[in-house]
Amino acid sequence: MHLLIRSARVVDAASPLNNQVVDLHLENGLIRQLSPSGSGSPMPVPDGARVIEGANLHVSAGWVDGRAAANDPGHEHRETLTDLAKAAAAGGFTDVVLLPNTHPVIDSKDTLGYVRRMGEGQPARLHPTAAITKGTKGEDFTDMIDLHRAGAIAFTDGDHPLQNPDLLLKTLQYLQPFGGLLINRPEDTLLTRYGQMHEGEQSTRLGLKGMPAMAEAILIARDLRLLTYVLDGQPTRPSTPMLHFACLSSAESVALVRQAKAQGLPVSCDVAAHQLLFTDADLAGFDTNLKVNPPFRSAEDVAALWDGLADGTIDLIVTDHHPHDEESKNIEFDMAEFGITGLETAFVALLTKANEQQSASGTSIRPESAGTSIPGVSTLGTSILGTLVDRFTVGPRRVLGLPAVSIAEGQPATLTLFDPTATWTYERPITPAKNSPFLGKTLTGRVITTIL
């Protein structure tokens, strides 16, 4: 099979072709030839080749979503794994990391094998994580060595933060010999019990129980201290992360991880795309599609998250995709489930926000426009577009131990093609779930296709 991509601008900071417009000839899953566009005669079209071209076509390594909730097995009426993979591909993702909070939980080789088998032949690769504790109940350990050998990409209790410090300590020790990654979403659940949104002035005005940012920072500080204890006395420290913090939402959390990295601790972290787009003030209308955990916090916290992206403290952006049925969301705010869908809109929603704020400042987010900024949020050292692509490509592959993807001749073609300036209205979700704050909204940036 031949595929010819005409005049696509490369977005890949590590490539010598970065920001160049090139033609790509793909054959049987490999990049056979690359040539700069306009360098002479155009690349000939091979017999029977499909041609992809567009006015503002961009190409990058295939995007990776480091955190999505699977509802299959157990709640297929919300979303099957096939639905999830189709939504991922539509949103530009070639790879998706799945949480273990299915029914039954991914805590055995049988359930892990089911998810891996269901992922075969899908339009996006599915990488299941495995639970640390049986049933993600935080009590008894799973057989993590067997699960690792069976293909688990990392270990986490997913939506259930590890509360027991002894469990976390022993997990770090258990995973270290084979380089396993522990992922924990930091939340002291005793401090957030019955909480509905960020604890602050807005929660008081709305009469909703608050969830303090302190609950997140306390668990990060605890986990970092336990990691230090595990590493004390060892002659060298691992070069890859041992402990990953999921879904940071507060300024203090970013500061703690930044300090830990400066001290050489093998840690990494991510932020959910929607955390960069909303604040607690947006909940004034009690829109249940904006009810997430961790909750949207203050404008100062959002600014700190953007700063964490700018200086590399935050390694990757995730969708934190959580599909729900109508009965779980179209009810009173305090009764609604936490979570939004994000696979189809995460990247373009971020790009839309950047476009809006950059238009207000009279600057451009085109990749060749370095040193752009989001007014009132942060100044990114590279272009906003380049930084976002990096956190969806290089960052997750490094943290999760996935093979690097290069846009170079002879390399496998795992690519995302997109137009960062196209506008469209998000009206018909591919996934059955409709719990998105972006439905009916006009977005800037559109995925053309993925190549896997």
For 97-120, the DSSP string reads EEPS-SSS-S-SHHHHHHHHHHTT
Start-to-end Cα distance in the chain: 13
What span, in angstroms and rounded, lies between the C-alpha atoms of 406 and 383?
20
What span, in angstroms and rounded, lies between the C-alpha atoms of 299 and 197?
14
Work out the number of other CB atoms within 10 angstroms of the CB of residue 411.
15
What span, in angstroms and rounded, lies between the C-alpha atoms of 270 and 395?
9
- Residue 68: what are its φ and ψ, rounded to 5°? -145, 140
Is the separation of the CB atoms in 46 and 4 below 8 Å? yes
What span, in angstroms and rounded, lies between the C-alpha atoms of 235 and 162?
28
What span, in angstroms and rounded, lies between the C-alpha atoms of 175 and 238?
12
What span, in angstroms and rounded, lies between the C-alpha atoms of 293 and 302?
15
Query: Torsion-angle region of residue 264: left (phi > 0), alpha (psi -120 to 50) or beta?
Result: left
Angle between helices 299-310 and 384-392 (to 10 degrees): 80
Tokens of 397: 């592959």
Work out the number of other CB atoms within 10 angstroms of the CB of residue 321.
32
Tokens of 157: 């209790």
What span, in angstroms and rounded, lies between the C-alpha atoms of 22 and 390?
19
Say whether 110 is catalytic: no
241 closest CA partner among 397, 361, 102? 397
Beta bridge partners of 3: 26, 50
346 closest CA partner among 388, 291, 283? 388
Q: Which burial class, exposed, middle or buried, applies to 424 when counting CB atoms under 10 A from its CB (0-12, 13-18, 19+)?
A: middle
Catalytic residue from among 72, 320, 390, 419: 320
- The catalytic residue positions are 320
